[in-house]
Structure 1
Amino acid sequence: MMESYIHNYKRKRVWMLLVFIVFLPAVFEEIISSFLDLDFQNDIWYEVIDTSIMLLFATPIFIHMIRENDRTAVHLQQQLQEKKKIQQKLTLSNIELEYNATHDFLTGLPNRYKLFQVLSRMVKERHELAVLFLDLDRFKTINDSMGHLSGDQFIKLVSIRLKQAIPLGAQVFRHGGDEFVILSELPNCRSTEIADAVCDAFQQPFSINGTLLYSSVSIGISHMPEHGTDEVTLLKNADRAMYRAKDQGGGTFNIFSNGTDEYEKKQLMLENDLRNALETEQLIVHYQPVVDLSTGRLKSFEALVRWEHPELGLVPPGEFIPVAERSGLINDIGTRVLESSCRQVRRWHSANEQIGLAVNVSIRQFRNPHFPNLVKDVLEITQFPAHLLILEITESMMQDDSESVRIIEEIRTLGVKLAIDDFGTGYSSLSKLGFLPIDYLKIDRSFITEMLIHAPIQSIIQTIIDMGRNLDMELIAEGIEEEGQSLLLAECGCQFGQGYLFSKPLSAEEIEMTYSLSTLVKVK
């Protein structure tokens, strides 16, 4: 646009010069000479007249052109300044667009798109490269129990801590959700140092709205060139190694190996077989007695699912429950266990109508808005007394968000009791514990195991017992294996206990024989 303006101005100036300096003075001179009939003897007077006429026309034109030049110069200067401003704005906009396209909005970390850009460049330029794939342990529990806003705040705090933990020569990216990736240009042998530093960074709690949250991270590591020479393979193998670390309990790291392939095949086989197990009645329920520590009398049974695999034999819960959680089969398994155990214990009520039943509830079951109705339906179908049913939830499920409170209140409306399982190992807010209708606290077995060895553990157990009793909750100790543990717990005021000292989990048939329940009449 500016070039067109300059071109038009030059063409206009040429025409003005031709007309007012050449054409009009010549015409005007002829008119004056003809009109006045001038006749000079000396030619110099003709030159004087020519010059005067030319000056008469040229002077205003030159003055006009000088002014036009000034105005044009000013206009051009303004146009140049405006153009410069526009270019600066475009440059800033491009920088902002580039940043937004390559960085995560929530954390400010480089995002997945930037990760592939950098990783693609690194695999071409480097001979060694370590990829660390990170996944936060129990993030879904935090997100579900405390709400998505708190979950976002937690992710921000994690990103800050990761940036502080990694050394120079490594950079962290947010892969998405609760997954992060660290690329290390340091020697591959140092990748485990980075993983250790990241795991150590999670030893301290995160403070979210006054609540201290403890979490950990599972890390998978792949090395170039041993585990891949392109970005897709390196990320895939690091991801697979991460899942191996998660299945090992989390809070650790795992380096990819060929054994990971075999492990994944086994997990896939277990998932497929587990689906078949639901259809072919391979899942059975065992029952572990809960006794009164002061009298030794039977109080209730805890229902524990077991899998009798036709080829592998008895599959430990620690192997198939994580598979059920990941695949979503835990909902069907939980419903099956709840209904079958209610039916079984209801049959035993003809011999002892006070026997209670405790059933574990997974986070997936608990977060289902229809879960209270499902419990109601099971109670109606099995005719099981609601006041004898105890649903065991974890500390993470009782956080003070509206949905959790609603579900807890609806369950309590049915007359069903609630217990907090593995108490002392989670991140419950004690300030909220007294406002929720909880009937039992189950002291985690890790405290019971150490109570006779380390005196401070006894003080912790006593504190938990005193707190529970002050809140009108009854205490159940898990994992009792020695007589001394049982006696000391009773002295501290713990009412009930379970563990191998009393009985391991038994099948329904073994329970009937052990507790003389074999003559019961089945209840339809």
Structure 2
Amino acid sequence: MELTTKRYKYKRIFLLITFVVILPFLFEEFIIQFYHLDFENKTFYDLLNTGALLLFAFPVFFYLIRKTDQTAFYLEQQHEVNKKIQHKLELSNIELAYNANHDFLTGLPNRYQLFNLLDKMASERTELAVLFIDLDRFKSINDTMGHLSGDQFIKLVSIRLKQATPLGTQVFRHGGDEFVILSELPNYRSIEIAEGVLESFKKPFNIHNTTLYASASIGISHLPDHGADAVTLIKNADRAMYQAKEQGGSMYTIYSLLSQNDEHKQLMLENDLRDALETDQLLLHYQPVIDLETGLLKSFEALVRWKHPKLGLVSPAEFIPVAERSMLINDIGTWVLETACRQVKEWHAVNSDIGLAVNVSIRQFRNPQFPDLVKDVLEITEYPAHLLILEITESMMQDDWESIRIIDEIRTLGVKWAIDDFGTGYSSLSKLAFLPIDYLKIDRSFTMEMLTHPPMQSIVQTIIDMGRNLDMELIAEGIEEAGQSLLLQHYGCQFGQGYLFSKPLPAEEIEQAYCLTTLMKVH
């Protein structure tokens, strides 16, 4: 446009010089010479000069005026166009700024805005809470229903979170299936917020006419106790979330400074655990399960142990969470299942009715290949499927639809299922009736209090009656006294295990203790 204006300027100067100066002068000279005019009065020359000027100047002035009007109109149009372009650019900049700070799928503020806002607020406030939320078993939704359904589920979760959080909080999408709630409320109210979120997940989600139940694990960190900047607060909330997930999920955990001190030890255990399988450091102990009425051996529960070359015998409570977090639990679980099946299969040469119970971790249970793995182990070891019991905990049964699918698929092989530590988790009794479970294992905390705390006897009897009414068999754990065994038998519990009968023993000691020549009655 600037170049066009400059060209028009030069063109106008050229026209003015040509039509106002040069052509009138040449025309006047031509007329005088052609007609041989010679006026004595100078006024006639002035009139001739004026006429010539008017003759040539009027058209050019008329042209220039019209051109000026056209240019002005063009400039006005161009100005309007420029205003529209500028408006579009402003809208584009607003949109770009919004997209840079918000998640495209849910419309929630994104991680970039979270860090910026959290750093600013951390420098201005004395209290602040960060709740890091991770959806439990979200991958199974993507795998079974597709990514479009997964995206729809994430949208529904974002809406549910906004509805479940009070004023003074803000929900962010951190990425994937992770969300963060930033609370400006007093730190003690972070527990109330977490409980509200967990409560909101008890309602099902509806995706394309399919009802889904989901849960979440929540980690909480506080300013200033757990960090003074965004990176530290979010990192520690993330760590706390993993602690909640390791305990079965569908719960919240507040970050503990003590956990930071354990990290070096856990890192060492994780590194050593990777070598444990290859160097035969893992071993199995077997604890017998006894028929309380006859005193005869029913089965064995296989329990993994780790004989560390430097630390000695490491407790499963210490290394199993490490295995869960590092994903080594699938390899360890497979080794336990196969090794135990091979061992008890050998004992079948003496007694073909001996059963085997093996614990299953939540990561194994949620592994899409787990049913095929169980099938492969049964085929390789030739172990009778109907004598195998897989034990899971109550907390692993939160996603009913997915849990039932996995259990049913493995039950078609003939394998039985048991809920371990029953009574300590969060199972809904209304849902228990629909779960294809064969055994309930009464937690040792109930058994051990039966003789010293009489009201506990009513609770145990209620559990036994409920299990029997649901056509489930009962196994009581932690039996240490004969009085406990007699009460349990009186209430209708069929089986028991505990130190009264035997502590967990290596395979060699089991063979010596039971001889495995006849069904041994326990005295």
The TM-score range, normalised by the shorter chain, is 0.7 to 0.9
CA contact (8 A) 1:130 1:183 kept: yes
Corresponding residue number in structure 1 for 2:198:
202
How many Å separate the matches in 1 of 2:322 and 2:367?
19
1:193 — aligned with what?
189
Cα RMSD, aligned residues only: 4.3
- Is 1:34 matched up with 2:33? yes
Q: Aligned letter for 1:194? A: S
Matched, 1:218 2:214: no
Q: Which residue of 1 aligns with 2:277?
A: 278
Change (3 A) 1:57 1:184: same
Shift of 1:398: 7.4
- For 1:193, the aligned partner's letter is R
Whichever residue aligns with residue 46 of structure 1, its letter is Y
Q: What TM-score, normalized by structure 2, do the two folds share?
A: 0.77
- 1:442 aligned onto 2:454: no
Q: Does 1:22 align with 2:21?
A: yes
Specify whether residues 53 and 401 from structure 1 end up closer, same or farther in structure 2 by C-alpha distance, changes over 3 A only: farther
TM-score after normalising by structure 1: 0.77
Paired position in structure 1 for 2:56? 57
Tell me which of 409, 414, 417 is aligned to 2:415: 417
> Which range moved further: 10-19 or 125-134?
125-134
Is the 8 Å Cα contact of residues 291 and 300 (structure 1) preserved in structure 2? yes
Structure 1 residue 27: Cα displacement: 1.5
AA partner of residue 441 (structure 1):
D
Structure 2 segments unaligned to the other structure (5+ residues):
none
Shift of 1:221: 0.9
Task: Measure, in 2, the Cα distance between the counterparts of 1:369 and 1:192.
Answer: 39
Structure 1: gaps (5+ residues): 491-495
Partner of 1:130: 128
2:84 equivalent to 1:80: no
When structure 1 is superposed on structure 2, of 209-218 and 100-109 the one drifting more is: 209-218
CA contact (8 A) 2:287 2:301 kept: yes
The share of aligned pairs that are identical, in percent, is 51
Spell out the pairing of 1:221-232 with structure 2 (5 A cutoff).
Answer: 221-224=221-224, 227-232=226-231
**What secondary structure, in the 3-state scheme, does the structure 2 residue paired with 1:421 have?**
strand
Secondary structure (helix, strand or coil) at the match of 1:332 reads helix
Q: CA offset at residue 353 of structure 1?
A: 1.0
Equivalence for 1:493: none
Cα distance change, pair 122–328 in 1 and its aligned pair in 2 (3 A): same
Partner of 1:171: helix, strand, or coil? strand
Shift of 1:324: 0.8
Q: Distance in 2 between matches of 1:23 and 1:8?
A: 21
Change (3 A) 1:383 1:244: closer
1:136 touches 1:179 (CA, 8 Å); kept in 2?
Answer: yes
Distance 1:367 1:54, change over 3 A: same
Preserved contact between residue 190 and residue 220 of structure 2 (Cα < 8 Å): no
In the superposition, relative to structure 1, how do residues 321 and 42 fare at CA in structure 2: closer, same or farther (>3 Å)?
same
Q: Deviations over 1:245-271 (max 9, x none)?
A: 5556652332453x3331222322332
Q: Distance in 1 between matches of 2:459 and 2:84?
A: 70
Structure 2 residue 369 is the aligned partner of structure 1 residue 354 = no
C-alpha spacing 1:93/1:65, structure 2 compared with 1 (3 Å): same
1:51-108 alpha-carbon deviations (Å, 9 max, x no partner):
2322222222222222222222222222222222222222222322332233223332
Give me the whole-angstrom Cα distance separating, in 1, the residues matched to 2:233 and 2:32: 98
In 1, the alpha carbon distance for the partners of 2:294 and 2:357 equals 20
Provide the rounded CA distance (Å) in 2 between the counterparts of 1:206 and 1:173: 21
- Amino acid corresponding to residue 77 of structure 1 in structure 2: E
Who is 1:93 aligned against?
Answer: 92
Matches of residues 24-423 of structure 1 in structure 2 within 5 Å? 24-122=23-121, 125-126=123-124, 128=126, 130=128, 132-136=130-134, 138-140=136-138, 143=141, 147=145, 149=147, 151-184=150-183, 190-204=186-200, 205-209=202-206, 210-211=210-211, 213-224=213-224, 227-244=226-243, 246=245, 251-257=251-257, 259-290=258-289, 298-309=297-308, 315-365=314-364, 371=370, 374-392=373-391, 395=397, 399=401, 409=409, 415-419=413-417, 421=419
1:334, distance to aligned residue in structure 2 (A): 1.1
